[in-house]
């Protein structure tokens, strides 16, 4: 693949099978009652290195499914995806956390899951803790944390893991306002210093304008329009 391309999706479709009744042992060997739901249909998309892409669309348009495929959280039913570089997903920031371990210990577990070495984590742990800003709770078990504290810790680990591609969803626009802007500033710093590629799914028009240059508009689980941030005004008029 061309090194200037960060993400390439070719004829990506995702179909879920819905079972309306819990299958019996016999029904597992014969075709029972089921329904197929197409979450994405024939998506073709190329995102270049360093691009900042926002994905918009009404509920049910396939935004989250597309993001999860790009983040390799789920696999497409058909089609092919190629990524170039280290992908870090900020979709499920609590994934890999252990509730009985301290925040400090969870930094090592989560960091290694994101591809960091122990030595790299040791070098960065002071900055991870400072950015998360959860005070003395860093030494207490994770089950004592609020959702906001877990979000802060997870985000801090992820953005210090030296990503090439950052996958974001509405988590960026949740929590307290100060941390929202702090997170946005950190993403901007990664863009400036490392030219990271950003893919961001959100309904937050303000943050989309601030962060993204290219907009992908999904509708009925297909790509409806591709353009610059001027699409956001048209989208707001249609759905907000």
Q: Where are the domains of the chain?
A: 5-239
Structure tokens that stand for 163 in this block:
């990503």
Phi first, then psi: what are they for 48, rounded to 5°? -85, 160
3-state DSSP assignment of residue 18: strand
Beta carbons of 219 and 60 less than 8 angstroms apart: no
Which CATH homologous superfamily contains domain 5-239?
A: P-loop containing nucleotide triphosphate hydrolases (3.40.50.300)
Residues 1-30: pLDDT tens digits?
566 899 999 999 999 887 666 666 555 555
Q: For 35-57, what is the mean pLDDT?
A: 91
Q: Helices in the chain by DSSP H: which ranges? A: 63-70, 103-113, 118-132, 147-159, 177-194, 205-211, 230-239
Contact 7, 81 (CB under 8 A): yes
- 59 pLDDT band, cuts 50/70/90, is confident
pLDDT tens track for 165-210:
999 887 666 667 788 888 888 888 888 888 999 999 988 888 899 8
Q: What pLDDT is recorded for position 183?
A: 85
Do 39 and 14 form a contact (C-beta atoms < 8 A)?
yes
Find out whether 221 and 59 touch, Cβ atoms under 8 Å: no
pLDDT (tens digit, 9 = 90+) per residue, 66-121? 999 998 888 999 999 999 988 988 877 777 789 999 999 999 999 998 889 999 99
DSSP 71: T
pLDDT band for 235, please (50, 70, 90 cuts): confident
Write out the two tokens for 173. 């626009």
pLDDT, residue 78, reads 94
Q: What is the pLDDT of residue 173?
A: 63
Nearest residue to 208 via CA among 238, 232, 225, 234: 232
Burial of 140: CB neighbours in 10 Å, binned 0-12, 13-18, 19+ = middle
Candidates 15, 11, 5, 8; CA nearest to 81 is 8
């Amino acid at each position: 693949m061309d090194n200037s391309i960060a993400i390439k999706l070719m004829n990506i479709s995702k179909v879920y099978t819905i079972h309306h009744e819990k299958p019996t042992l016999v029904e597992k060997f014969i075709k029972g009652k089921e329904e197929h739901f197409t979450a994405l249909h024939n998506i073709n998309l190329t995102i270049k290195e360093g691009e900042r892409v926002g994905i918009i669309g009404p509920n049910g348009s396939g935004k989250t499914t597309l993001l999860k495929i790009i983040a390799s959280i789920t696999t497409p039913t058909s089609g092919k995806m190629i990524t170039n570089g280290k992908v870090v997903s900020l979709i499920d920031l609590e994934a890999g956390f252990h509730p009985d371990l301290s925040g400090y210990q969870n930094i090592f577990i989560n960091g290694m899951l994101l591809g960091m070495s122990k030595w790299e984590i040791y070098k960065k742990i002071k900055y991870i803790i400072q950015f998360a800003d959860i005070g003395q709770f860093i030494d207490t078990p994770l089950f004592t944390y609020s959702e906001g504290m877990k979000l802060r810790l997870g985000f801090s680990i992820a953005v210090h893991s030296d990503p090439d591609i950052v996958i974001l969803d509405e988590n960026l626009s949740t929590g307290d306002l100060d941390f929202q802007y702090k997170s946005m500033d950190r993403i901007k710093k990664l863009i400036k210093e490392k030219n990271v590629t950003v893919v961001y799914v959100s309904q937050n028009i303000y943050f989309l304008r601030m962060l993204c240059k290219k907009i992908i508009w999904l509708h009925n689980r297909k790509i409806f329009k591709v353009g610059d941030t001027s699409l956001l005004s048209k989208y707001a008029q249609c759905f907000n």
